[in-house]
Amino acid sequence: MRKGLLMAGVVLIVVAIVIFVFGMYILARQVRLTVMTVTLSPGEEIAVGVVSPGKVFTMSYMDSINKSLEFYVTAPPNAPQRYIIFQRYVYGLYVVTCSLIGNGTGTLYLVNNYTVPVTITYYIYHGLVSVGSFLLMSIVIGIIGVVLAILGAVLKPRK
Q: Strands of 70-74's sheet, edge to edge?
A: 45-51, 106-111, 70-74
DSSP string for residues in the chain: --HHHHHHHHHHHHHHHHHHHHHHHHHHHH-EEEEEEEEE-TT-EEEEEEE-BT-EEEEEEEETT----EEEEE--TT--EEEEEEEEEETTEEEEEEEEEESS-EEEEEE--SSS-EEEEEEEEESHHHHHHHHHHHHHHHHHHHHHHHHHHHSPPP-
What is the pLDDT at residue 120?
Answer: 92
Cβ–Cβ < 8 Å for 27, 38 = no
Beta-strand pair 81-90/70-74? unpaired
pLDDT tens track for 119-153: 999 888 766 666 667 788 899 999 999 999 998 88
Asked if residue 79 has pLDDT above 70, the reply is: no
Q: State mean pLDDT over 84-110.
A: 84
CA distances from residue 97 to 51, 55, 56, 84, 129 in whole angstroms, order as listed = 10, 10, 7, 8, 11
- Give the architecture (CATH level 2) of 3-154: Sandwich (2.60)
* pLDDT score of 111: 92
Query: Between these two residues, 81 and 26, which has the higher pLDDT value?
Result: 26
Q: What is the dihedral of CA 73, 76, 82, 88, to 10 degrees?
A: -10
Give the percent of the chain with pLDDT over 90.
Answer: 28
Judge contact between 49 and 157, C-beta under 8 A: no
pTM of the model: 0.61
**In the chain, % of residues over pLDDT 70:** 89
- The structural domains of the chain, with segments of one domain joined by +, span 3-154
CA pair distance 18, 134, nearest whole angstrom: 10
